[in-house]
Amino acid sequence: MILNAAMTLDGKIATRTGSSEISGQEDLLRVHKLRKEMDAIMVGINTVMVDDPRLTVHKISANSNDNPIRVVVDSKARTPPEYRILNQEAPTIIAVSSEAPSDKIKALEEDGKSEVIICGDKQVDLNCLMDELGNKGIKTLMLEGGSTLNYSMLSAGLVNEVRVCIAPMIAGGNRAKTLVDGDGVDYMKEAFRLKFKKSYNLGADLIVEYNVL
């Protein structure tokens, strides 16, 4: 499990309005090459609603078989059936809770748009989801946020690596999204510990990679 993200120097992954055009073209190519290496790529429902992403490898020379499986953590099955995450470019799995409305689940499964997995009661149980994905043969997965899902995955001990593109810009804003939000820890001694792996410049950006302890 690799948590991958781009952020400003002050740790913002989006402004208060949701604008998230942070990294340069070189990093976009890096991300798409990394996607090609992964079995699956995972985002939360908020990322889907704000960005309407494709989550494919369309930025590099590749064919449709190179696209990873797309996984959306969507407890209430809110993914709009017309959004690009449900197009036919790649398979899509929607993880919902048992409280997700049956009519919304049916809409997501209609015409083979996606496969719906029920994990957990009120919220998606991430450990259950990882087991289900493993049973489907998914062994490598890239997490592309957002900040709430990043925190939940770290809290569950499900992240092995963190790879971050740091762009030379400062966004500010107490309502702007940071790399990891959620409840956070109460004391610094409880912070998620990382071990430096490597860093390198990529265009105007700095890429840093860590292993999660």
Q: Where are the domains of the chain?
A: 1-38+140-213, 42-136
CB 167 within 8 A of CB 22: yes
Q: What is the pTM of this model?
A: 0.95
Report the residue count for the chain: 213
* Pick from 195, 197, 177, 210: nearest CA to 1: 210
Express each pLDDT in 151-207 by its tens digit. 999 999 999 999 999 999 999 999 999 999 999 999 999 999 999 999 999 999 999
Give me the pLDDT at residue 179, please. 97
Give me the pLDDT at residue 90, please. 96
Q: Which CATH number does 1-38+140-213 carry?
A: 3.40.430.10
Domains 1-38+140-213 and 42-136 share a fold: yes
Q: Which residues does the chain have with pLDDT short of 50? A: none
For domain 42-136, which architecture applies? 3-Layer(aba) Sandwich (3.40)
